[in-house]
Amino acid sequence: MGNYAPKLGLDKSGFPIQHAPPPTSILASYNRENAAASSVISVSHDTTMLEVAAIGGPAVMRFVRTGDTTASVVAAVSGANFQHVIPASTVRQFVLPIEAQGTGSASVQGINRAEGLYQRVAIISAGAASSVLLTEYGF
């Protein structure tokens, strides 16, 4: 298992800057407003970290296995299957966990596939008049 998460930025003294986005390029951004159903997002071959923001109300998310055919995330009391809650007006960062054995070779593919990281994530807002923003970061 490699060290695949983006490095933290450093201040002028060489100390890590906590609670800041990684100093790397953004691979993709998504905005879901007032969604009645969850969104399943397939991340890029280079994605190793996600940033999720809940605007106007809480949001829930879960990492989705490759073979999962029902893939949605449910926030309701009955049938709830979320893994993480993002409180309203909060931004959280997640390093993609390992789902399966990676190939170990990044020569033709990105680090996500080489390390065997999760390739999909499901998100939904858990309240009316709320949005979920998701940003993908790479190595």
Answer whether residue 18 is part of any domain: no
Answer whether residue 77 is part of any domain: yes
Here the CATH number for the domain that contains residue 124 is: 2.60.120
Answer whether residue 100 is part of any domain: yes
In whole angstroms, give the CA distance from residue 32 to residue 127: 12
In the chain, the N- to C-terminal Cα span, in Å, equals 15
Q: What is the count of structural domains for the chain?
A: 1
Answer whether residue 14 is part of any domain: no
Distances (CA, A) of 104 to 12, 48, 62, 70, 113: 35, 15, 25, 29, 8
Share of the chain above pLDDT 90, in %: 42
pLDDT in tens, 27-37: 999 988 877 77
- The pLDDT of residue 79 is 73
pLDDT in tens, 5-14: 888 888 899 8
How confident is the model over 70-77, as a mean pLDDT? Answer: 73
Answer whether residue 31 is part of any domain: yes
pLDDT surpassing 60 at residue 72: yes
Output the pTM of the full model. 0.84
Answer whether residue 1 is part of any domain: no
| 131: containing domain | 26-138
Tokens of 76: 């309701």
Q: Which residue has the higher pLDDT, 109 or 64?
A: 64
Q: What string of DSSP letters covers 19-81? A: TS--SS-EEEEEEEES-SS-EEEEPPTTEEEEEEEEESS-EEEEEE-TT-SS-----SSTT--
Answer whether residue 20 is part of any domain: no
Closest by CA to 48, choosing from 126, 108, 121, 127, is 121
How confident is the model over 42-49, as a mean pLDDT? Answer: 92
Answer whether residue 12 is part of any domain: no
